[in-house]
Amino acid sequence: MQKQPKSAMKLQSAKNNILLYSILFTTVAVFVSSNSNTDTKWKFTGIWQYRAVTKNDSFFWKVSSTDTMVILNNGKFYYNIESANKHASGNWKPIYIRRKNKSVKGLRFQYSDGKSRAFMFCYLDKDSLCLQEGNLKFLYSRKN
């Protein structure tokens, strides 16, 4: 399992009301509404370069230097993973994911095609980000 960097920052808590319960694998996700216009700058927004994608802590596919994820302050995102021919865009919202009797902060991505996926934060610092969905981990380095 990936260790959390010592410099990892605590994420700002999402505000407002609990809206929806959803079961994702064995995890219950609690979606929290938030107006990104009124919240302070999100620490995870920016341009992120994929460093690795792992499944069960083994490399799942090879990434290239052009593979990027952009998470904007206005609640929009898009990614281009040329090495896997994957491209998507949509909206994101902060969430809490109930896991092993505790709440873990994460993001819900609502894709343009209507699909929705929930990811928990493995770690976040000024230069590194790790998001996890089930047994998949997405590791990033900040580009901007």
* Side-chain-side CA neighbours of residue 19 (13 Å): 11
Residue 44 lies in a domain: yes
pLDDT in the model for residue 42: 54
CATH of the domain at 115: 2.40.128.280
Of 143, 142, 118, the C-alpha closest to 132 is: 118
Cα four-point dihedral sign 99, 132, 1, 49: negative
Mean pLDDT for the stretch of residues 53-67: 93
- Least reliable range by pLDDT among 13-17, 53-57, 66-70: 13-17
Residue 4 lies in a domain: no
- Per-residue pLDDT tens over the stretch 72-106: 999 999 999 998 899 999 999 999 998 888 898 99
Q: How confident is the model at residue 64 (pLDDT cuts 50, 70, 90)?
A: very high
Q: State which residues form the domain around 53.
A: 18-142
Strand runs (DSSP E) across the chain, as ranges? 18-24, 27-32, 46-55, 58-61, 68-71, 76-81, 86-99, 102-111, 116-124, 128-133, 136-142
- Per-residue pLDDT tens over the stretch 12-50: 333 222 222 222 222 233 333 344 433 334 589 999 999
pLDDT in the model for residue 22: 26
pLDDT in the model for residue 61: 86
Residue 5 lies in a domain: no
Q: Which two tokens stand for residue 59?
A: 């490399």
Q: How many distinct structural domains can be found in the chain?
A: 1
Place of tokens 């949509």: 90
Residue 127 scores a pLDDT above 70: yes
pTM exceeds 0.85, yes or no: no
